[in-house]
Structure 1
Amino acid sequence: MRSKTLWILTPAILAVLVVIGFFAYQARFSRGLQLVISAPEQVLIGVPFDLRVNAANNSGGVLENVRLSLALPDGVAFVGSPQSKTIDFRELNNLGAGGLNQQSFKLIALDGENSFKKITAGTTYLASSLSSRFEKEVSSDLSVGGYGITVDLVTPEKVFGGEVFDSEISFKNISEIDFSDLRLKMEYPLTYTMAKATLNPDIGNNVWVLGGLLKGSEMKFKISGSLLGPEGASF
């Protein structure tokens, strides 16, 4: 009787051990792939930057068919790609034990002044001798500061209707790169009439083709015009 009972329990124990062993093996490979996102401490709107993703195999076995993805939030784009593209895939193939693969992505922030944007990197892969695919995902908050170019407009506090007054426009490149093909467009109130400018506009009376602006450099010019409106009105 005892022998029969032992014969019934043994397969159950073996089944439990097999299941435990499988999940332990699976957990080993899941923990063994490490993903790290490396980005600048802060980025500026309109200024391209490099973001790197490191994939390291610490499992002790070969990871096969490794595929890396990078998903972007609204307001961040891949440089050179349509703004509608929000995810990029890279085939890393096999990653040997102790191996490291670094991928670099050229990105640009389009909006979100003084905010954080979440970027997510993920991988799928096969562990050697197992047919199951594993997944790993990490996220990082990207700090977005101000704009790469600051623009200031200085006007008088008060003017009389019909009086010609000056407005000074200044813009400065506060980024670490040089800008090219810059354009400045002014939008005037309907009752404003522009008279002249120290830098003549290139299109109509409100568009300037500025060309390049080196890092750290600043440009200024003035426009003169008048406003018509009732006393006490503001624009």
Structure 2
Amino acid sequence: MFFARGNTVSNDNIDISVLSNDFTAGGEEYPLLLEIVNRNSSSLELVDLVIEYPKSSQVGFSQDNEHIRISLGTISAGEVKDENIKLVLFGEQGSTRQIKISLEYRVEGSNAIFVKDKLYIVSINSTPINLLVNAPAEASSNQDITLGVKATLNSTKSISKILLKVDYPVGFQFIKSTPAPSLGNNIWNLGDLAPGAERNISILGKMVDVFDGEEKIFRVWSGSQSLSDKSLIGIVFNSLEHAVMIKKSSIGAELLINGVYQREYVIDTKTPIQGQIQWTNNLETKINNLEIRAKIYGNAVNRKTISVAQGFYNSSQDLIIWDKNSQSKFEEVNPGDFGTVSFSLSSLPLFSAADGIVSLPTINIDVFVTGRQAQSGGIITELSNSESKVIKIISDVGLSTKAPILLFGLFPIRQIIFQKRKYVLLFHRGCGLQVRFLQQRRICFMMSLQEK
């Protein structure tokens, strides 16, 4: 209750009634019908009606909310005001949105601004864009996963410049999609959609560095393109989440390099590479015809040094194979059985007189494990797993004034004097620098060489 120069005004004597339905279709025009009654004995002056509501399908109030301010002037004692405000609300079907209705006013004899608030909840009984995600509920580490997303316009009017965005969980590695993304690897421009129009997106990727029992959440967003930034959704029409539970693969497969398990390795040219593939039957049933393949490739592979224990190396395909012909126990693997197969190789020299320096020397190893599971009714299930590793090759530092200079690794800037001339050599990891002296004055270089 407020007092000003004998005027008594109470918010309790101001009624704000909503005469509209408490439900609406998302993306469609919603008429907000209001009745405002001043039951005070004094007038309300300089009255403003303020409507605040979510601009997108996001729940709650934020700085991005829509604000509508309407001047109502003076509402006399006992007067009734009717207002009809047109809104457009967005949200998932079955969700609710809050509309905040505020009446700002002054009373005679006071400069203070008083406020009467009311919250009104509206249910969304349909959404302008329906989203559907078709993806498995479970996935295994290093296994391909396909995410199918379908967007359908559920509005009676066409909508232009529609974007769709997918937020990937940590551990998801994007491979490709159909159609290709419009920006980065997770934003698609769906263009203009007519009523009933559909757009389908198929996303292929894999889960890496994930563990049994983890839950990974994919989030899909759709809405109109931002006016200021074409890569952003300005107004979100709908959003959807899809959860994927990580579980152990039917056949466990881990590739260790020199006894260490990680995604990438850095090894110098003098260190032999020992590979071990650890396999496990994680099922409660037998696995028949287990087969392990390791494909070895890259510009630093010394194929003459590849050696395999109890397996077969196909040099024409750069492929090592272990199957029931070389490992008799692979014909029938009991539940919980595990084991290891191994191989070894070395890298090529990183410099030769004929080929020069090997650029970005790497060795790639892709492992594929397959098997068959016999189920009741004579049904055979094909099982598979895969694992990939990258080995980056570095070299010890070599320095000579009589031969080409090969330098690899990460070093601070060094000053070196050759032939009574002073130079600064700049080194960077994984890159080589070759310096030749021709007639004591010409310098041939592959990286950065500055004369001082």
Which of 1 and 2 has greater Rg? 2
Partners of 2:64 and 2:143 in 1: CA distance: 47
> C-alpha distance in 1, partners of 2:205/2:64?
42
Aligned to 2:339: none
Match of 1:223 in 2: 202
TM-score normalised to structure 2 length: 0.33
Equivalent residue runs for 1:1-235 within 5 Å: 26=8, 31=13, 34-43=15-24, 49-56=30-37, 63=43, 65-70=45-50, 72=52, 76-77=54-55, 83=63, 89-95=69-75, 100-102=81-83, 104=85, 106=87, 108=89, 114-115=95-96, 117=98, 119-124=100-105, 126=107, 131=109, 137=116, 139-145=118-124, 147-155=127-135, 167-188=147-168, 190-194=172-176, 197=178, 199-215=179-195, 217-223=196-202, 225=204, 227=206, 231=249
Deviations 1:93-139 (A, max 9, x none): 2346756342525354579x72453623324254xxx6579967352
Note the alpha carbon deviations across 1:24-46, whole angstroms, 9 max, x for none: x9579x84x64323444224666
> Counterparts of 1:202 and 1:153 in 2: how far apart (Å)?
19
How many residues align? The count is 198
Q: How well do the aligned residues superpose, as a CA RMSD in angstroms?
A: 4.9
| Most deviating of 155-164 and 139-148 | 155-164
Displacement of 1:144 in angstroms is 3.9
SS in 2 for 1:231: coil
Ranges in structure 1 where 5+ consecutive residues have no aligned partner: 1-21
TM-score (norm 1): 0.55
Give the distance between the partners of 2:68 and 2:203, measured in 1 at CA: 49
Deviation of 1:158 (Å): 7.0
Please say if residues 51 and 107 of structure 1, whose CA atoms lie closer than 8 Å, have aligned partners that are also in contact.
Answer: no
Identity among equivalent pairs (%): 11
The higher-RCO structure (CA 8 Å, 6+ apart) is 1
Q: SS at 2:172's partner residue?
A: coil
More strand by share: 2
Which has a greater percent of helix? Answer: 1
* Residue identity opposite 2:36 in structure 1: A
Query: Which one is further off, 162-171 or 203-212?
Result: 162-171
Contact kept in structure 2, 1:54 and 1:103, CA below 8 Å? no
Task: Give CA-to-partner distance per residue, 1:123-180, whole Å, 9 cap, x none.
Answer: 4254xxx657996735242124375322112135678988877543211233454422
Whole-angstrom distance in 1 between the partners of 2:65 and 2:145: 46
Are 1:150 and 1:171, in contact at CA under 8 Å, matched by a contact in 2? yes
* Alpha carbons of structure 1 residues 200 and 120: separation in structure 2 relative to 1, 3 Å: same
User: Aligned equivalents of 2:65 and 2:138: distance in 1?
Assistant: 47
- CA apart distance, 1:58: 6.9
Structure 2 CA distance for partners of 1:222 and 1:110, relative to 1, 3 Å = closer
* Deviation string, structure 1 residues 172-218 (Cα, Å, up to 9, x no partner): 23345442211112345533422x52x34333443221122234x14
8 A contact 1:62–1:94 mirrored in 2? no
Provide structure 2 residue ranges, at least 5 long, that are not aligned to the other structure.
57-61, 209-247, 253-452
- C-alpha distance in structure 1 between counterparts of 2:8 and 2:113, whole Å: 8
Say whether the 8 Å CA contact 1:161–1:231 is kept in structure 2: yes
> Letter of the aligned partner of 1:203 in structure 2?
L
